[in-house]
Each structure stands twice: as C-alpha cells, then as structure tokens.
Amino acid sequence: MSEKLVGRELKENKLDTLLRVDNYTPDFDPEKEPILRVEHLKQYFKSTKAVDDVSFTIQKGEVFGLVGESGCGKTTTGRSIIGLYEINDGDVFFRGKRIGMGVDAMKRWKKAYAEAKAAGDRAKMDELKKDKVIHKDLMTKIQMIFQDPVGSLDPRMTVREIIAEGLKIRGIRDKRFIEDRVAEVLEKVGLVPEHAERYPHEFSGGQRQRIGIARAIVLQPDLIIADEPISALDVSIQAQVINLMNDLRDEMGLTIMFIAHDLSVVKYFSDRIGVMYYGKMVELADSDELFAHPLHPYTRSLLSAIPLPDPNYEKRRKRITYVPSLTHDYTKEGPTFKEVLPGHFVLCNTAEFEKYQAEIVEMDANARRKQQ
C-alpha cells in the first residue's frame, strides 16, 4: 500500500474518532427501519398551525422531497426536526433513537408514568423512562443547509472560521487537523483552500451556498436538511448546486431531505415526494408514482403550474386552481391519510378514496392508449 493511501486511511480513522458521537446507535439497521421517523408532528405559533399532525419516514441514502407553496410549513417542519423550534406535539426519531418530543407528548408521558407508579408497575415505569430519553448528541449527525446564503453566514467570520465552528464545538482543538479538514471540504464543494481566508461578502451567491454546504458536511453527517438551497440562485447555478449535492450524496452516503417549491426540480433530484398544504401532508409517494398518478387536487394544481419550453404546449396549458372549500365535502366525514396504492398516501375521506382509485384505473388506461 502506498504512503499516500496509508496517510489518507489514517486521516479518515482520526476523523471518525474525533467526530464519533458517544451514543451513536451501533445497533441501527437501515434494512429494518428508516433513518428518520417523524410521528404526528405539530408546530403551532399561537393560533397559527404551521405544521399540523405530519408523519413520514426517510430511508437511509434516499432523497426525500418536500414541496408546497410559501407558508405551507415545509421550512418549519425541517427546523422542528433539527431542534430549532420546541415542538408542540409529536415525536422525532433518528437512527431508531428519540431526538424530539413535543410538549403535549411529554404531558401524556408524565400522566402515563404517574399511572404506572400508582399501580406499582415497575416494568412499565422502566419502559417509560427508557422511552423518554432524548438523544440530543445525535443532532451532530443532522445538519442543515439554509435557504438564504447571505443571511446564514456570519459576515464577521472568515470562511475558515465559519466551516470550522462545528469542529470546535465538538471539542476539536488540533489546528493542523482543522486546517486540513476545512481545505478538504472546500475542495469537495468546488472551491479552493485559498478561499478560506476570505469573508462571505467577497463571494457570489452560488459560492456562498457552496460554503453553506461545506459547513454542513464538515462534521460528516448522515442526514442533511436542505431548506430551499437553490431558490435564491440563478437557474444555471441551481443546476450546479443540485449536481454537487448529488455527487456528495453518492460520495458520502448522505440522506437528504430536500425542501423546495419547484416540483420539476424535486422530481429530478428526489426518490420520494411529500406535498404539503397549510401545515398538512396531503400526498406522499415515490417520485415517478406521484407524477404518473397525481391524485390530490392540490398536487394537480402544483403540476399544472410547471412551465415547459414548448410554445404549443404553453398555449394549451390550463392552470388548475385549488379551493379547498369548493373541492372537498368534509361535513359528514373528515379526511385521514389513506394508502391508495402501495407507498402512495393521500389525505382524503372514504368517498374521495374510492374516487381516487377509479381515477387511477382511468389514468393507466389513458397512458396505455397513448403508447399504442
């Protein structure tokens, strides 16, 4: 083995040792459970239900796209998962361990524990104690890329200081290691080590977002929450950043939660897609399945807004407007998240569920006629 390969292997081993989380779930099996599990997440701001009873899972290595209009709760969902907000209710599990517990969920836990204690049920008490543990140390393995590349970078810090901040918080003081690690991640995101001495205002928007990506990957995370990382960039730069994230995903084995407005971009980049509207998850399916069978009226509304570089198509394209009060009748039965096809979930009641299943048959028949 060459000296260069030996040196690289020693460096990687040192990195793993320095960045190891004390309680890093060695028993986690990605074949049996998702890397992230969100259950009945609720995030309210006074009377505003920013996120209202949202549940989903993300498998290790996949890109999970979360789409919807501005104000639908996409960003709040990401920030609640990573712990930037104290969630009102629900549970968040990462690698099989709890990392988030809502205020109301904690109240229910206290009530259940009091009942078990009053009944003298030691086994139940021990089980509840174990379930309550929140593994905040695992948060190191979840990082976030923010939407605004200007506002998310401290203008008074150099690029080296910005990227190295996470390493220092983890207790790493080896200056040589920090310099090498910063230079390494800068090269990974398409910048050069010389950029480390500059300040954020000296870079373009695309370069600033690359710095934000470098800051996110410096701690070797398992999961990255990318909050509309391309919405503030030019179209040509958007493609570069998407390709960069794809390369990093393959190289580092990353799992990505990709939040965006543009369904066409999300389709290209994501394995599965969740559609949100007014704090609710209204549809969830594989990327190809969602575009083949868009069932919820809001999903169809979003798809109808995607422009194509075809003048003839654009002349015929009709924009679908979604008005919930005119589209749904929930006076007799409210909606629940139902599985209309394997892995394809829609927020609907029983009558809509039957209608959607009939529409799937019709869509498949139309697709077969077009192929003939």
User: Does residue 197 form part of some domain?
Assistant: yes
User: Does residue 279 form part of some domain?
Assistant: no
DSSP 3-state percent helix, strand, coil across the chain (nearest 5): 45, 20, 30
User: Does residue 286 form part of some domain?
Assistant: no
> For residue 12, what pLDDT is reported?
53
Q: Which residues pair with 64 in a beta bridge?
A: 257, 272
Contacts of residue 352, Cβ cutoff 8 Å, sequence gap at least 6? 328, 335, 346
Q: Note whether 95 and 207 are same-domain residues.
A: yes
Contacts of residue 371, Cβ cutoff 8 Å, sequence gap at least 6? none
> For residue 19, what pLDDT is reported?
62
Strands of the sheet containing 272-277, edge to edge, are: 142-145, 223-227, 255-260, 63-67, 272-277, 280-286, 344-348, 336-341
Instruction: Say how far apart CA 289 and CA 148 lie, in whole Å.
Output: 31
Determine the length of the chain: 372
User: Does residue 16 form part of some domain?
Assistant: no
Other C-beta atoms lying within 10 Å of the C-beta of residue 69: 15
Q: Where are the beta strands (DSSP E) in the chain?
A: 36-45, 48-58, 63-67, 89-94, 97-101, 142-145, 223-227, 255-260, 272-277, 280-286, 336-341, 344-348
Q: Note whether 195 and 76 are same-domain residues.
A: yes
DSSP conformation letters of 210-243:
HHHHHHHHTT--SEEEEESTTTTS-HHHHHHHHH
Final residue of a structural domain among 236, 269, 302: 269
- Give Cα 224 distance to the centre of its chain: 7
Other C-beta atoms lying within 10 Å of the C-beta of residue 18: 16
> For residue 74, what pLDDT is reported?
94
Instruction: Say how far apart CA 243 and CA 253 lie, in whole Å.
Output: 15
> For residue 370, what pLDDT is reported?
80
Q: Note whether 358 and 253 are same-domain residues.
A: no
Burial class (CB in 10 A: 0-12, 13-18, 19+), 200: buried
User: Does residue 25 form part of some domain?
Assistant: yes
Q: What CATH number has the domain bearing residue 125?
A: 3.40.50.300
**Beta strand pairing call for 63-67 and 272-277:** parallel
User: Does residue 281 form part of some domain?
Assistant: no
Of 63, 60, 100, 62, nearest to 79 by C-alpha is: 100
> For residue 184, what pLDDT is reported?
94
Final residue of a structural domain among 252, 269, 286: 269
80, 87 Cβ separation under 8 angstroms = yes
Q: Note whether 243 and 298 are same-domain residues.
A: no
Of 142, 152, 165, nearest to 82 by C-alpha is: 142
User: Does residue 284 form part of some domain?
Assistant: no
For the record, the structure tokens of 265 come out as: 């971009």
Q: Note whether 179 and 222 are same-domain residues.
A: yes
> Residue 341: CA atoms inside 13 Å, Cβ hemisphere, count?
17
Instruction: Say how far apart CA 214 and CA 166 lie, in whole Å.
Output: 11
Q: Note whether 73 and 117 are same-domain residues.
A: yes
Q: Note whether 36 and 149 are same-domain residues.
A: yes
Q: Note whether 174 and 129 are same-domain residues.
A: yes
> For residue 8, what pLDDT is reported?
52
User: Does residue 283 form part of some domain?
Assistant: no
Final residue of a structural domain among 269, 286, 313: 269
Strands of the sheet containing 97-101, edge to edge, are: 48-58, 36-45, 89-94, 97-101
Q: Note whether 153 and 209 are same-domain residues.
A: yes
- What is the tally of structural domains in the chain? 2
Q: Which domain holds residue 299?
A: 294-371
Sign (positive or negative) of CA dihedral 341, 346, 349, 351 = negative
Q: Note whether 65 and 147 are same-domain residues.
A: yes
Q: Note whether 109 and 181 are same-domain residues.
A: yes
Q: Note whether 67 and 191 are same-domain residues.
A: yes
> For residue 217, what pLDDT is reported?
94
Instruction: Say how far apart CA 168 and CA 342 lie, in whole Å.
Output: 45
The DSSP symbol for 342 reads: T
Mean pLDDT per block of 10 residues along the chain (372 residues) reads 50 58 71 94 94 96 94 94 94 93 93 93 90 85 90 93 92 89 94 94 91 93 92 83 91 93 86 95 95 94 86 85 92 94 95 94 88 77
